Chains A and B, each alone.
Chain A
Amino acid sequence: MKYFAGIDIGSTAIKIALIDEEKKILASRVTPTGSHFRKNAITALETTLSEINISMDDLSYMISTGYGRKLMKESDESVSEITANAIGAIEAGRQHGDIKTIINIGGQDTKAIQIDDMGTVTNFAMNDKCAAGTGKFLDVTAMNLEIELEELGDYHFNIKGAPLPINSTCVVFAESEIIGLLADGHNKEEIVAGIHYSIAKRTVRLAKRVGLEGNVYFDGGPAMNKGLVAAMEDELGKELVIPEHPQITTALGAAVLALEAYYDEMEEE
């Protein structure tokens, strides 16, 4: 049996996917990036490998992606997270078919990617320097409201009034806006829903820049937040395809590329 690994070293989390030659996911892992991310990445990889009782030497090919991709010298090569995300979405969304647009919200950036039926990236857009509307935005919101990140979805659906309009697009200013709203006596549910709609609006605007064709696939950590998903679907006017493990799509894409690179090399030899 051959093993292929994709490792996605993001700004917030390290994601790992291990697959076999049938592209079946054998093991996966999500762990915080931390400050010693190379060390953390290697530890996470070793732990994942040990789950299926193999070691680094058993890997036929490994590709790294994400912000830390270049520093992972253990990898055979690196690829940008946009390409990896596209390939991963085609693989994970296969049963839904016809995925033409991918929206990814990560820890510090938001991407919209347009692909053709072979998974080739034809166009993409990314948020500029600022982290507005990214996973960080949700972190800050949960922290200010003193609730757990996982609870955001529940708060969203328990709303009694209407979502509050959140006007700030900057994470730092949104923080003071949230505090102001709390001080005015608004409840947390309305604020949470307001934040979700604010992120959804920004994200959909970005996605419109690349075009919204076919099925729209939504991944990244925030795709696990059902409240945000509902707000996005509302803004888009259509249903989103949410994969089973939204955080590891890009790592899976890197693993699939590793498999392809391995067989390409075999063919050449």
Chain B
Amino acid sequence: MANHKDEIKHPFNLTHQASEATRMLRSITDDFPDNPEAMNYFYDLYKKVYCEGVSLHENKKIVGTMCVQVPEELIYASGAVPVRLCNGFYTDDHNGADFMPAKSCSLVKATLGMLDSKSTLPFINRLDDIVLPATCDQKRKAGSMIADMGYSVYDMEVPPVKESEEARIYWRRSIRKFAGELKQITGKKLSKSSLKEAMAKISRAQKAYRKLYELRKQKNSVILGKDVFMVTNAYFFDEIESWTEAVNRLNVELEKRVEEKYSAAQRRAPRLLFTGSPAIFPNLKIPMLIEESGGVIVGDETCSSNRMLYDMVSSDEWHLNAMVDGIADNYLKPCTCPIFTKNDDRKRKLLHMAKEFAAEGVVYQSFSGCQVYSMEQASITKALNDEDIPVLFIESDYSPDDMGQLSTRIEAFIESLKAKRRRNRK
């Protein structure tokens, strides 16, 4: 069996992945005028990591995570660094197709492809462990394939229901067990002080994110959605403190834009929310098409962005076990992933956000092969339509071959929102 710590063989910048990243990065930066100065930190970060192969987190243990439900506080407190492995590369989607049935989720295929090819993330060969929450079927079954590639995989149990007391107990036990596993990996036992410090670190990052979230409520859109996805997506792999500083710098610049009444989109650009399967670099094709077609994404409900950073741990008990339980609760209760049996929270959240952000429409992406998002589509659409909010449902994957068709649909949706506005005025 191949060892995953084998050396990478090709010059990094010549891989298909690096050229895919370069192409996307170029269109993210060059196709739009007046990107915020502070975005350069993020553009450069992607360039360093994905195009040039510059490694991060030197001399640190790295724990790869496969879903948003992994409590990162525990990983930091154990002296390791979490890196989210959910991947958006079409090249890797191709590679991963060897492992999965034809009609399966691009994200899972691309993650498997990346772990197999080892040429997307420069520090992929330094993973000390991969934590795989048993969320959707496809991820759940990917675990043993990843283990066969030579990685150490920890299966983290997740209850299929989130409201019941039984689920809560089950989940808390699962998280305590995970804390024990981390000790095995890092050799460091959790302590109250290290956990407190880790919680503070993440909470600073979340505060910076929330500030950015608030800024997007401005009537004048001060930042485009494609840039916010770049910011939140960088949280997957960046050093958390430099990420937080960079977001704070961006917020300062955006506040200036608010004062100057500067708008990043056309003044009357329809305001949209983005929900469903996550937009992960470089698969930002739908957000890009939306904003190239004259819409602006003002908020999102996805696990690569808002769902990952919005909800904060609240713990008023400072005993170690109570702190771990408090953290566990935050990763179950507010989670609006469609893998859970009932998911009315997701409807409530979208309706609430649509009001808060004065959104005029919702774009709902579901990766082909992601059954749960596709199945939830009808009820979410109905809930939003009942409140007079139109929804565009798009089933797509990482392949660029449907761009022509998608641009027609997205443009037509945006045109219909503009027409609706005109009609309501009359």
Give A contacts to B, CB under 8 Å: 67, 79-83, 109, 116, 118, 120-124, 126, 128-129
Q: Which 3 residue pairs spanning A and B have beta carbons closest together?
A: A82-B412, A80-B411, A121-B416
A126 near B420: Cβ-Cβ < 8 Å: no
B415 near A83: Cβ-Cβ < 8 Å: yes
Using known A-B contacts A67-B408, A80-B408, A120-B420, determine if residue A129 contacts B401 with beta carbons closer than 8 Å.
Answer: yes
In the complex, chain B residues whose CB is within 8 Å of the CB of A122: 390, 416, 420
**CA–CA, A166 and B405, complex, Å:** 26
**CA–CA, A128 and B404, complex, Å:** 11
Q: How far is the CB of B422 from chain A (nearest CB, A)?
A: 8
**CA–CA, A106 and B396, complex, Å:** 21
A129 near B405: Cβ-Cβ < 8 Å: yes
In the complex, chain B residues whose CB is within 8 Å of the CB of A123: 390
Q: How far is the CB of A132 from chain B (nearest CB, A)?
A: 14
How many residues of B are in contact with the other chain, CB < 8 A?
Answer: 15
Contact with A along B405-426 (1 / 0, CB 8 A): 1001101100110011001000
A126 near B405: Cβ-Cβ < 8 Å: yes
B402 within 8 A of A: yes
Query: Which of A82, A109, A116, A128 contacts B395 (CB under 8 A)?
Result: A128
**CA–CA, A26 and B419, complex, Å:** 28
A121 near B404: Cβ-Cβ < 8 Å: no
| Sample (8) of A-B pairs whose CB atoms are under 8 Å apart | A79-B411, A81-B412, A82-B411, A120-B419, A120-B420, A121-B415, A123-B390, A129-B401
Q: How far is the CB of A115 from chain B (nearest CB, A)?
A: 9
B419 near A83: Cβ-Cβ < 8 Å: yes
Using known A-B contacts A80-B411, A123-B390, A128-B395, determine if residue A109 contacts B416 with beta carbons closer than 8 Å.
Answer: no
In the complex, chain B residues whose CB is within 8 Å of the CB of A81: 408, 412
A120 near B416: Cβ-Cβ < 8 Å: yes
Q: How far is the CB of A265 from chain B (nearest CB, A)?
A: 15
Contact with A along B26-46 (1 / 0, CB 8 A): 000000000000000000000
Interface of B is mostly: helix
In the complex, chain B residues whose CB is within 8 Å of the CB of A118: 423
A83 near B420: Cβ-Cβ < 8 Å: no
**CA–CA, A102 and B268, complex, Å:** 28
Q: Which residue of A lies closest to B412 (CB)?
A: A82
A80 near B423: Cβ-Cβ < 8 Å: no
Additional A-B contact list (8), CB under 8 Å, known A82-B408, A128-B405:
A67-B404, A79-B411, A80-B411, A81-B412, A82-B411, A83-B415, A126-B409, A128-B395
Q: How far is the CB of B334 from chain A (nearest CB, A)?
A: 32
**CA–CA, A98 and B390, complex, Å:** 22
Q: Which residue of B lies closest to A65 (CB)?
A: B408
**CA–CA, A230 and B264, complex, Å:** 51
Q: Which residue of B lies closest to A129 (CB)?
A: B402
Using known A-B contacts A128-B395, A129-B401, A129-B402, determine if residue A121 contacts B419 with beta carbons closer than 8 Å.
Answer: yes
**CA–CA, A128 and B416, complex, Å:** 20
Q: Which residues from 372 to 416 on chain B have a C-beta closer than 8 Å to any C-beta of chain A?
A: 390, 395, 401-402, 404-405, 408-409, 411-412, 415-416
**CA–CA, A126 and B416, complex, Å:** 15
Q: How far is the CB of B268 from chain A (nearest CB, A)?
A: 14
Q: How far is the CB of A80 from chain B (nearest CB, A)?
A: 4
**CA–CA, A82 and B419, complex, Å:** 13
Q: Which residue of A lies closest to B421 (CB)?
A: A120
In the complex, chain B residues whose CB is within 8 Å of the CB of A82: 408-409, 411-412, 415-416
